[in-house]
Amino acid sequence: MLRKASMAGALLAAAPLAWSQSSVQIYGIVDAAVRHTTNEGPAGDGSLTQMIGGGMSQSRWGINVTEDMGGGLRALANLENRFNTDTGAQATTNYFQQSWVGLQSSSFGRVMLGRQYNVLFDVVTSTYASFPYSPYFDAFKPEIGFSLGARASNMIKYVAEYGDFRGGLQYSFDEDAPTGGRTVGAYLRYASGGLAVGGAFQNYEFGSGRKLDAWTLGGSYRIDKWYLNVGYGRNKLDGGPLTAATDLAVLSSLWSGSSVANGNFGGPAFLAANQRDLATIGLGYQIMPLLNLGAHYYRTKQSGPTVAGDARANFFVFAADYALSRRTDIYAEFDTTRLKGEANLNGTTAAGGPKSRNGYTVGVRHRF
């Protein structure tokens, strides 16, 4: 009897291996840099030199899980945490910036549920990224403010590929949160050879019921050692400027682009604006297999129903990245910001504050 029970237990333990195979991958980026900026402060003077826990990329670690269940069907899961290398502290409010589970089939595509990248971020980073090996410079990224936070919680996303085309749909629940959070969006991209083009649309609903529409369109082209990319994006509120304090706080977080140094139109114009537009163009050149150069220019316009909401901004970033090995690289970067109109860089709605800033960054990045 004991022998039969032992045999049954062994068969049950071995049974799953007969029809499924799982893999667990741990990955990450550890990035640290020294950054110097001018006009760093509400008074618009002085400078700041600091170590930052991510220059080219935000530091992170994550876990990818894949289970092959046979017949072309797979189960997928991803957990990803962001942290600051300089302090070891958590970099974001959400401990896991990505936390989703899904199913993928060779016939119907992929369905994912949880916190994940939105369709705006998907199409920009995969189709016309500023720096395709990063895909943007984390310490200076004006374009990210136009992706409505880049991620969304409580999201269902569907992605499918047909030949050279890839498309995605998303929906996220607001769960009656005072900040809102319901989103609906879609994207479509085409890539063949060195050419890639795509576009996306996404809607965000605030707790008050007001809505923000965002769309983007762009493309890139690779030929030999050159890389060219162009893009355009717009965020527009339905109706006039927001008035509810909770809505304004959400809008500020969406439009800031993760940092007050990255195109956060503070100042009185922020309260009077209901639209932002961004035009971008970039050029990359691979001098040698280990050395990449890239330059990117962004022109941003903020506007409203009255001239009080009008403001302009010009952003420029240049970066050089040298690979010491397949996993480790060093980089140097220069960026500049210039604002016009009733806007400032101090991240508040008060008048005054700096309207220009230069940044200089050198760092090292390791990927595993």
In a domain, residue 99? The reply is yes
How much is the pLDDT for 226? 97
Annotate 37-60 with three-state secondary structure: EECCCCCCCCEEEEEECCCCCCCE
How much is the pLDDT for 2? 41
In a domain, residue 8? The reply is no
How much is the pLDDT for 145? 76
Q: What is the mean pLDDT of each run of 10 residues along the chain (368 residues)?
A: 44 48 95 93 75 95 96 96 95 93 95 98 95 90 85 97 97 95 97 97 96 97 96 94 91 64 65 91 96 95 90 94 97 93 71 84 98
Specify the CATH number for the domain of residue 237: 2.40.160.10
In a domain, residue 308? The reply is yes
Read off the pLDDT of residues 225-258 as tens digits, 9 standing for 90 and up. Answer: 999 999 999 999 999 999 999 998 888 888 764 4
In a domain, residue 311? The reply is yes
Range of the domain at 81: 21-367
Read off the pLDDT of residues 327-343 as tens digits, 9 standing for 90 and up. Answer: 999 999 999 999 888 77
In a domain, residue 71? The reply is yes
In a domain, residue 56? The reply is yes
Domain count, the chain: 1
How much is the pLDDT for 93? 87
How much is the pLDDT for 6? 46
How much is the pLDDT for 35? 96
In a domain, residue 4? The reply is no
In a domain, residue 47? The reply is yes
